[in-house]
Amino acid sequence: MNNLLVMPMAIPVLAGILLIFLRPYVKAQRWISFFVMIANIGISIYLLNWIQTDGVQRLDFGGWQPPFGILFVADSFSVILVLTTSIVTAICLLYAFSSVEKSYENMFFYSFVNFLVAGVNGSFLTGDLFNLYVCFEVMLLASYVLIALGGRKVQLRESMKYLVINILSSWFFLIAIAYLYGTLGTLNMAHLSERIAESGQTPLLTVISIVFLTVFALKSGLLLYFWLPGSYSVPATAVSALFGALLTKVGIYVMIRTFTLLFYHEQQITHLLIGILAGLTLIGGSIGAIAYKDIRQIVAYNVIIAVGFILVGLAVATPEALEGSIYYLMHDMIVKALLFLLAGTMIIVTGETRIDYMSGLIRNYPLFGWIFFIVMLSLAGVPPLSGFIGKVLVGQGAVNSGSYILLALAFISSIFVLYSLLRVFLNCFWGETIISEEDEIPMKKGWLIPCVLLTAGTVILGLAAEPLAIYVQDAANTLMNPQIYIDAVLND
Amino acid sequence: METLITILTGVLVSVATYLILSRSLIRVVLGTAVLSHAAHLLIMTMGGLKTGGVPILGGEDGEAYVDALPQALILTSIVISFAVTAMSLVLAYRTYQATGTDKLNEMRGIKHE
Amino acid sequence: MKINNVILRTVAKIVVFIILTLATYLFLAGHNSPGGGFIGGLVLASALVLLFIVYDIETVQKAIPVDFKKVAAFGAFLSVGTGFGALIFDVPFLSQSFAYFNLPFFGETELTTVTIFEAGVALVVVGVVVTIILSISEDV
């Protein structure tokens, strides 16, 4: 029995429910949520090593054999992402302990963080398209609540937009599922892959794949990112860090999964389209990142650039490029969480959101300033930090397949990332300090420790690229050979 | 039969589009509800209509059943859309309370505090 | 806000019990025929909503002093709990089992663990529906 597979989703759900009963006991809520994430880290490390020895694992719910029942499938790719999710969430929770207002904590904040993580992990692990939709909705419902928590006017307005756009994309998802079921008569992903391979990817199936692409592009912010900067800049800092780190990544994960497992036969159509969208996203994100002076907008546009970059790897679809995408996904989850935390902390200590009103922060908070510097280098891809290896591998893949335009766009966008963050660094950290000794808000340990931990994360991920390579190579190998996945699910 | 239901789905989608594009918050919420029902009908139709008996245990032997999976799917997605609609109603109401208007165009320009 | 509508009150007193009976029937029928926890829960919630409309909220809450958020949470706990129950018997998550028992009055009866799961679902639905109605109507 592989019941361990469901734990990354089931434990947070159970914890989230229990926390509703513990409403008055905020301390207990905090530590229970934190230990749930620690437990998830342990479980996913164990699963990851298990997969290396015994291959891709699956769990049939209620004992229903595939393709009839719902199932969870764990391969290296999904478990790597579950692991990173758990680490990032644990650290964001640490930040939330000292920054989130008491009134939020009493309004089931930790319950909804747990439900969010359950939805994210469920989306990573599921092996059934409809179950994926359900996990998406669990995640989205939790995110609707988290984004509106606090109830400021601007929050309510942005959450209303976020809600409507997500209902629309869920609708497209349902429509695509309906068409796919009408065409192939199954929704189990391995079974779908087998049937598509048998019948060949007919034009009808390619059209359905484009509908799926639209859905996931909306969720991940691939070109259709117009909703993202607004809604990611309104919630509490810890929440927006979680959103920036996790939500778009789920969309990217699903896109990589469907276009390597199901719709990989007509690459000259689908992957070309993904390539074009990724290129446009890189351009749009770069313009946005240097156009705004509100630090939250700058950070949100950096998320969009990363989405474009990771999907360049999918568009190229060589083994190296996919490995690069996986590395970059892990890197980006850690670094984007850190970037959102830093931006939020800067806003708290200065009380300003525009970068031209902040100055000289490094005099007041030296360690904090240097952390920002490291993040900047990591995002720009300077070795030995974690952004480097992903960029090199994606670049190598693009060179091998001759996609020079995408290659150029990807690396020019890195320069824009560097420029946009350097601008923040020079404006906010250099120069005359605007905070006098008396007014200085002391940097709480609870703010600094999560930032230090995440910085350590990016350094370690960069240095440990070699030992991690076996897992990432296995993940890319499974993505490149759908037969491994199909065998694990259908043929025992 | 399938054609008829597909046309009905189309009508529902156009109604929903009209409602979502209007300026009133409550109409947008109603539009999203109608939209999800259109999707449910479509899933139902995709499974094939009236191809057999009711898929319930204890029917006559040898009777052909309709595909039960689309029904299970839409039951699940009805539950989800119920939750989402409830959520959006509450959110729309709170937005109306906080901003004092349910016109989307009047909400423009609320500054980040 | 108090509505003084004699006809509605008189009818509601009887109708509420009919609705509750229907809810119980639907809930129990759900195992093999149309019905089940979700629908049973919705019907049950509609009975409560009728009470809220006919009498005012304070009166009903005095008569039924439960926190409906906790009802929903307890239901969810019950449903997820049956999933976890499968772990004890070392079978896949969410596995269900059933058996036939000879009960007094009922004769041979099929008892299943699905019923516990469905009861959880019903409680979630009741809790969520009533919570939403209350949170919208609180300050009208």
Q: How far is residue C74's CA from residue C124's CA, in Å, rounded to a whole number?
A: 8
Q: Which residues of B touch C135 (CB under 8 A)?
A: 90
The yes-or-no verdict on residue A131 having pLDDT over 90 is yes
CA nearest A304: which of A240, A383, A228, A406? A228
The yes-or-no verdict on residue A410 having pLDDT over 60 is yes
C67, C82, C91, C93: which to substitute to probe chain A, counting the most A Cβ within 10 Å?
C93
Query: What are the tokens at A306?
Result: 């990363």
Adjacent-strand bridge partners of C107: C103
* C89 in contact with A, Cβ within 8 Å: no
Contact yes or no for A59 and C93 at CB 8 A: yes
Mean pLDDT of A433-443: 76
A13-27: pLDDT as tens digits:
999 999 999 988 889
Q: Give kind and range of the element (H or E) at residue A409.
A: helix A404-424
* A467 in contact with C, Cβ within 8 Å: no
Q: How far is residue A19's CA from residue B86's CA, in Å, rounded to a whole number?
A: 22
Q: Could you tell me which residue, A447 or C98, shows the higher pLDDT?
A: A447
Contact yes or no for A10 and C83 at CB 8 A: yes
* Model confidence band, residue B12 (pLDDT cutoffs 50, 70, 90): very high
Q: What DSSP string runs through A75-131? A: -HHHHHHHHHHHHHHHHHHHHHHHHS-HHHHHTTHHHHHHHHHHHHHHHHHB-BHHH
Amino acid at A213: L
**pTM for this prediction:** 0.94
A48-89: pLDDT as tens digits:
999 999 989 999 988 888 888 899 999 999 999 999 999 999
Chain B nearest-CA distance from C94, in A, is 16
Complex prediction ipTM: 0.94
CA nearest C25: which of C13, C12, C43? C43
Q: Could you tell me which residue, A305 or A446, shows the higher pLDDT?
A: A305
* Model confidence band, residue C112 (pLDDT cutoffs 50, 70, 90): confident
Amino acid at A201: Q
* A283 in contact with C, Cβ within 8 Å: no
Select the residue of A148, A152, A168 nearest B113 (Cβ to Cβ).
Answer: A152
Q: Which residues of B touch A145 (CB under 8 A)?
A: 87
For residue B107, the chain A residue with the least C-alpha distance is A157
- Could you write out the three-class secondary structure of chain C? CCCCCHHHHHHHHHHHHHHHHHHHHHHHHCCCCCCCHHHHHHHHHHHHHHHHHHCCHHHHHHHCCCCHHHHHHHHHHHHHHHHHHHHHCCCCCCCCCEEEEEECCCEEEEEECHHHHHHHHHHHHHHHHHHHHHHHHCCC
Select the residue of C70, C84, C91 nearest A63 (Cβ to Cβ).
Answer: C91
Show which subunits contact C, needing at least 3 CB pairs below 8 angstroms.
A, B
* Model confidence band, residue A176 (pLDDT cutoffs 50, 70, 90): very high
Residues A113-123 as b or e (16 or more Cβ within 10 Å = b): bbbbbbbbbbb
Chain B nearest-CA distance from A352, in A, is 10
Q: Which domains does chain B have, with CATH numbers?
A: 2-49+65-99 (1.10.287)
The yes-or-no verdict on residue B108 having pLDDT over 70 is yes
Contact yes or no for C95 and A21 at CB 8 A: no
Residue C137 sits at the vertex; the CA angle it makes with C134 and C140, to the nearest 5 degrees, is: 155
Mean pLDDT of A265-288: 93
Per-residue model confidence (pLDDT) at position A350? 85
Q: Give kind and range of the element (H or E) at residue A57.
A: strand A57-60
Mean pLDDT of all residues belonging to chain B: 87
Per-residue model confidence (pLDDT) at position B112? 57
Mean pLDDT of A225-229: 91
* Model confidence band, residue A120 (pLDDT cutoffs 50, 70, 90): very high
Select the residue of B56, B89, B97 nearest C33 (Cβ to Cβ).
Answer: B56
Per-residue model confidence (pLDDT) at position B61? 65
For residue C80, the chain A residue with the least C-alpha distance is A14
Q: Which residues of B touch C72 (CB under 8 A)?
A: none
Contact yes or no for C38 and B57 at CB 8 A: no
Contact yes or no for B107 and A137 at CB 8 A: no
Select the residue of B57, B83, B97 nearest C32 (Cβ to Cβ).
Answer: B57
The yes-or-no verdict on residue A1 having pLDDT over 60 is no
Chain B nearest-CA distance from C133, in A, is 9
C33-87: pLDDT as tens digits:
778 888 999 999 999 989 888 887 888 888 888 888 899 999 999 999 888 888 8
Adjacent-strand bridge partners of C102: C108
Mean pLDDT of all residues belonging to chain A: 91
Contact yes or no for C80 and A63 at CB 8 A: no
C136, C137, C140: which to substitute to probe chain B, counting the most B Cβ within 10 Å?
C136
Q: How far is residue A411's CA from residue A306's CA, in Å, rounded to a whole number?
A: 11
C66, C94, C131: which to substitute to probe chain A, counting the most A Cβ within 10 Å?
C94
* Model confidence band, residue A391 (pLDDT cutoffs 50, 70, 90): very high
Contact yes or no for C136 and B90 at CB 8 A: yes
Query: What are the tokens at B38?
Result: 């259109």
* Model confidence band, residue C139 (pLDDT cutoffs 50, 70, 90): low
Per-residue model confidence (pLDDT) at position A164? 93
B45-99: pLDDT as tens digits:
988 887 777 777 666 666 778 888 888 898 899 989 989 998 898 899 889 988 8
Per-residue model confidence (pLDDT) at position B51? 78
Contact yes or no for C96 and A62 at CB 8 A: yes
Q: How far is residue C127's CA from residue A228's CA, in Å, rounded to a whole number?
A: 33
* A18 in contact with C, Cβ within 8 Å: yes
Per-residue model confidence (pLDDT) at position C61? 83
Torsion of CA A351, A357, A363, A365, to 10 degrees: 30
Query: What are the tokens at C13?
Result: 């007193």
Per-residue model confidence (pLDDT) at position C62? 86
Angle between helices A153-184 and B69-99 (to 10 degrees): 170
Q: Which residues of C touch B89 (CB under 8 A)?
A: 132, 136
Q: How far is residue C79's CA from residue C89's CA, in Å, rounded to a whole number?
A: 17
Mean pLDDT of B18-36: 93
Helix, strand, coil percentages in chain A from 3-state DSSP, rounded to 5: 80, 5, 15
Per-residue model confidence (pLDDT) at position A430? 85
Amino acid at A331: H
For residue A15, the chain C residue with the least C-alpha distance is C77
In eight-state DSSP terms, residue B67 is P
